Chains A and B, each alone.
Chain A
């Protein structure tokens, strides 16, 4: 724990020193002290926009989960669904969402729907892939156990396949939450009147770079907290997975 904190502090100190010694103007690279000052000054706005972005992140993330799980189950249980859906999924990821975002704005407007859609499109893929892979990787002896105990397909899924797939599913969720943050910001760049992405664009346009940096810092903080929350839930609820991985 100590070493990362020390490294961070060293980085920040080095940054402050550089800006000071080299007399870099604050619209190019603000010193950390300036960023903190801007953050305190715009505290209210940062909070307001931060909450808006958080809403988009969580909304897109939950949407990803709700839509990805049925698709993943379909892929795992049906050859037909797998063959039909997989190519579409891969194709959807080959198109950079950053490129479609403006098109979506034209189609859906600048409201929450667009933001959620963009976030979802960026964040759902790892959940589908990891969940279906996890379901398909159930060891054959556990499937045999399910058959010997006469479990029907639905209960084989809920009692055996899904629990066994949780480590894999959580890997997908961790990637997905990180992508949800990116997705929300991309959405706010393209079309928003609120959110940290919007704040970054607006501050930069007015050369209020310290405020941009402050927004970026808040974004990074949100990303870290959300990722660690999922990691924490994984450790608490599914401690067996970590132990088995070590074995």
Chain B
């Protein structure tokens, strides 16, 4: 019996780049981990630890200076069609209405857009709570709604892998919570492998099956922690002891010896 290759395999990956001043900056050092099918993996770490770089390597936007990045066993050399990417900013085309934005990947792939494509787009917008806004322009929508539209766009061609780079980073905390739950609803009913980059520890624990903890300069994987909380996740789970234990574990890696108390002497 052959074992299927993991969906994403990172082996011995190091990544360095040159700054404009000519110095070499090592962004990532000796990364090794794998992501299985339909897993929700969060990558959490402080700013500048290289977590976005990891995502860009998986997406094929960059090639690592050393090591291999493989998807379904194949080396990643360029962006793949079966990947959806959600950026930190909504990145909608401001000159197209919402439904045309959702259909844009079809246009990019040079496929003619038919009536059933439009129906599908309306369906996905409905799932994301934007059915009434299909004809509106992006600037008419709030930040949270724009990001929902961006998520709808990434889901449109039903990719098996969803890469999300701090997708709720530009939003207020209340919207983040709401969108987090909506994301889980969408993903759990659709069986997708998700790699979710965030700098929020509670968000990572709430959303993920496993959390990859990174620390930075150069970016390395400190630990990969299993989140022992059943699905479907609810807001109540945030008060479970397992939740706190996980968050504490992650926090200890990231904060290290830094004081975590406001008391002073």
- Closest residue of chain B to A149, judged by CB? B108
Contacts of A148 in B (CB 8 A): 59, 61, 79, 83, 85
When A243-B137, A247-B139 are in contact, do A151 and B108 touch as well, CB less than 8 Å?
Answer: yes
- Closest residue of chain A to B88, judged by CB? A141
Contacts of B109 in A (CB 8 A): 149-150
Contacts of B107 in A (CB 8 A): 159
Q: Is the CB of B95 within 8 A of A163?
A: yes
Cα distance A141–B86 in the bound complex, in angstroms: 10
- Residue of A141, A149, A240 near B94 (CB, 8 A) is A240
Within 8 A of A (CB), among B69-111: 78-79, 81, 83, 85, 87-89, 91, 93-95, 104-105, 107-109
Q: Is the CB of B87 within 8 A of A150?
A: no
Within 8 A of B (CB), among A161-207: 163-164, 166
B-contact 0/1 string along A225-247, CB 8 Å cutoff? 00000000000001011011001
Cα distance A150–B105 in the bound complex, in angstroms: 9
Interface residues on B, range: 20 to 34
Q: A51 at the A/B interface (Cβ < 8 Å)?
A: no
Q: Is the CB of A141 within 8 A of B61?
A: no
Q: Is the CB of A141 within 8 A of B91?
A: yes
Contacts of B91 in A (CB 8 A): 141-142, 144-145
Closest CB in chain B relative to A100 CB, distance in Å: 40
Q: How many A-B residue pairs have CB under 8 A?
A: 55
- Closest residue of chain B to A242, judged by CB? B139
Q: Is the interface of A mostly helix, strand, loop or mixed?
A: helix
B-contact 0/1 string along A137-155, CB 8 Å cutoff? 0000110111111110001
Contacts of A164 in B (CB 8 A): 93-95
Q: Is the CB of B108 within 8 A of A150?
A: yes
Q: Is the CB of B78 within 8 A of A150?
A: yes
B-contact 0/1 string along A3-42, CB 8 Å cutoff? 0000000000000000000000000000000000000000
Q: List 22 A-B contacts (CB under 8 A).
A: A141-B89, A142-B93, A144-B87, A144-B91, A145-B85, A145-B87, A148-B83, A149-B104, A150-B78, A150-B79, A150-B109, A155-B108, A159-B107, A159-B108, A160-B93, A164-B93, A164-B95, A240-B94, A240-B139, A243-B139, A244-B94, A244-B139
Known contacts A142-B91, A149-B108, A159-B107; can you find 13 more A-B pairs with CB under 8 A?
Answer: A141-B91, A145-B87, A148-B83, A149-B79, A149-B109, A150-B108, A159-B108, A163-B93, A163-B95, A164-B94, A238-B95, A240-B94, A240-B137
